[in-house]
Chains A and B, each alone.
Chain A
Amino acid sequence: MEIGAAEFRQASKEHLDGAIHCHQNGDYLTCHYLCGLAVECILRACRWKIDSSWDGRHALLKLYKEARFDALVKERDSSEMADKFYSITSRWSNTHRFASRAKLVSYLNEIRATHNVRAINSRLIARKCLVRQSSL
């Protein structure tokens, strides 16, 4: 299957739509994964215009550089972009698709990404309560 810039761009939009749908339905961890995938796709779309060879690595940081994405960011938007791109790169990894929900939440808690995020914390607390109850 050949995938070019237009396909990556379309996939990015579809993954983002999927992420919004998951968020609306409270499936925050699937939303988390799809958000990163959407970013990866749009970076791949930009990279493809410079280099159409396939690169199987998924590190968003490296794709950002290879896609020369910074050239698309206006100077006045730089600090907002730094904030958003830091968030996604520190929180998301392609390997997260292999992680259990508990493992992923544990990582997100460790880097304080869930600080003040009630949905994930309350679900985790609810799960801990259930486990505790069932062990009584």
Chain B
Amino acid sequence: MDQLTSKEVQSALEGWLGSSAIVDVSREVPNGRITGWIMHPSFAGVPAADRQSWLWNGYGDQGTLPRWDGLRGKSKGQSTQIGLILTYSKLEYENALDETA
């Protein structure tokens, strides 16, 4: 199986979420999984399980985000090369990456 690149995942997620999102995914170890995080203001108030489901399984016409096939749909069998991708609202993201102390 061809190796999925972090650039492919990055651009797929940016394509789905648009310019108001922050996407940061990378592969830290040559044969390791691609991991990272995404932030989108529309995630505010949405349970984490729902966000993960949208990310992996897809998103229909139900709301403020564009349609999306999900990482499983986009990457098919290669999705096993993707590990933890966390989903944050703006406020959560600012908290998670707060390095002021």
A binds B: yes
Q: What's the nearest-Cβ distance from chain A to residue B15, in Å?
A: 22
User: Is A82 a contact of B85 with CB atoms below 8 Å?
Assistant: yes
**A59-B35 in contact given A78-B84, A82-B84 (Cβ < 8 Å):** no
What is the number of contacts between chain A and chain B, taking CB atoms within 8 Å? 85
User: Is A94 a contact of B101 with CB atoms below 8 Å?
Assistant: yes
A-side interface residues, number (CB < 8 Å): 35
Residue among A85, A92, A98, A107 making CB contact with B84, cutoff 8 Å = A85
**A110-B98 in contact given A70-B28, A86-B48 (Cβ < 8 Å):** no
**A82-B91 in contact given A61-B86, A65-B28 (Cβ < 8 Å):** no
> B20 on the interface (CB 8 Å rule)?
no
> B11 on the interface (CB 8 Å rule)?
no
User: Is A60 a contact of B96 with CB atoms below 8 Å?
Assistant: yes
Q: What's the nearest-Cβ distance from chain B to residue A29, in Å?
A: 15
> A90 on the interface (CB 8 Å rule)?
yes
Q: How far is the CA of A95 from the CA of B89 in the complex (A)?
A: 19
Q: Please indicate the chain A residues that have their CB under 8 angstroms from the CB of B80 in the complex.
A: 75
Q: Please indicate the chain B residues that have their CB under 8 angstroms from the CB of A107 in the complex.
A: 95
Q: How far is the CA of A83 from the CA of B89 in the complex (A)?
A: 15
Chain B interface category by residue count: 20 to 34
User: Is A70 a contact of B92 with CB atoms below 8 Å?
Assistant: no
User: Is A71 a contact of B32 with CB atoms below 8 Å?
Assistant: yes
Q: How far is the CA of A83 from the CA of B50 in the complex (A)?
A: 11
User: Is A111 a contact of B92 with CB atoms below 8 Å?
Assistant: yes
Taking Cβ atoms with an 8 Å cutoff, the residues of B that contact A are 26, 28-29, 32-33, 35-37, 45, 48-49, 52, 80, 83-89, 91-92, 95-101
Q: List 26 A-B contacts (CB under 8 A).
A: A59-B96, A61-B86, A62-B97, A65-B28, A66-B28, A68-B32, A73-B83, A73-B84, A82-B48, A82-B52, A82-B84, A82-B86, A83-B48, A86-B86, A90-B88, A90-B89, A90-B96, A93-B96, A93-B98, A94-B99, A95-B101, A97-B101, A98-B101, A111-B91, A111-B92, A112-B45
Taking Cβ atoms with an 8 Å cutoff, the residues of A that contact B are 57-62, 64-66, 68, 70-71, 73, 75, 78-79, 81-83, 85-87, 89-95, 97-98, 107, 110-112
